[in-house]
Amino acid sequence: MRSEFKPRTIACRNKRGELVSEPHVVLEVWKDYFQDLLEGRDETDAPQDDPVEQDFIKDEDNPPPSIKEVTLAIKKIKTTRSAGPDNIPSELLKVDEPVLVDALHKILVKIWESEKLPTEWEVGSICPIFKKADQLECRNYRGITLLNTAYKIFSNLLFARLQPHTERVIGNYQCGFRPPKIYCRSNSYSETNFGEN
């Protein structure tokens, strides 16, 4: 059994490289670091790709999610993951209790029809995970964001709906971003070359 996570806010370095140890200052440094990183003000900015031609999906092709779709989206949620700000473990929704599925279905249909996410779903808890080097430097951590469980289910539902449309748009050079069952020409070339050696 795993031990409970205990966050450490002992000390870190601010932007000027000064060591800070007061808990509220340490939290402010972390907040500023992730805010800069997520808003693209980091020195490791990647170049922007060329815009992609958009292929819009008509509204009549997108009815509200069915109970079956919601059930499948729930089944795709990974278990043994930390709960997000809602503190709902994914295992709770995987119990396959019809009352829970029905209640979640009603919520998702309402969101689908209003085209507006609940404000609670716009919040995530960022947890810094140490990578390497100096533990006092914020840039030596990667952040993972813990999201609300119901939002993850909604995301799975959207992903399942969008996936067939993306197959028409994504080129063969994007094999790494496609499901394993899709066989790309570049994979076939690599396998041929490796097989000859």
176 lies in a domain?
A: no
6 lies in a domain?
A: no
Q: Give per-residue pLDDT as tens, 68-89.
A: 999 999 999 998 888 999 999 9
- DSSP, res 75: H
Q: Which one-letter amino acid corresponds to residue 5?
A: F
What percentage of the chain reaches a pLDDT higher than 70? Answer: 73
Q: How many helices and strands, by DSSP H and E, does the chain display? A: 6, 4
Q: Which two tokens stand for residue 7?
A: 């966050």
Confirm if 70 and 160 have CB atoms less than 8 A apart: no
Confirm if 88 and 149 have CB atoms less than 8 A apart: yes
Count of structural domains, the chain: 1
119 lies in a domain?
A: yes
Q: Give per-residue pLDDT as tens, 121-159.
A: 999 999 999 999 899 999 999 999 999 999 999 999 999
Rounded Cα gap, residues 1 and 12, in angstroms: 30
Q: Is 30 exposed, middle or buried (0-12, 13-18, 19+ CB in 10 A)?
A: middle
Please name which of 161, 162, 157 lies closest in space to residue 101, comparing C-alpha atoms. Answer: 157
pLDDT exceeds cutoff 60 at 196: no
Domain of residue 111, residue span = 64-124+148-170
179 lies in a domain?
A: no
Give the Cβ contact number of residue 59 at 10 Å: 7
Confirm if 100 and 66 have CB atoms less than 8 A apart: no
Rounded Cα gap, residues 73 and 82, in angstroms: 18
84 lies in a domain?
A: yes
Tell me the CB-side half-sphere exposure of residue 135, using CA atoms within 13 A.
Answer: 6
57 lies in a domain?
A: no
* Three-state SS at 70: helix
Q: Which two tokens stand for residue 84?
A: 């997000």
105 lies in a domain?
A: yes
98 lies in a domain?
A: yes
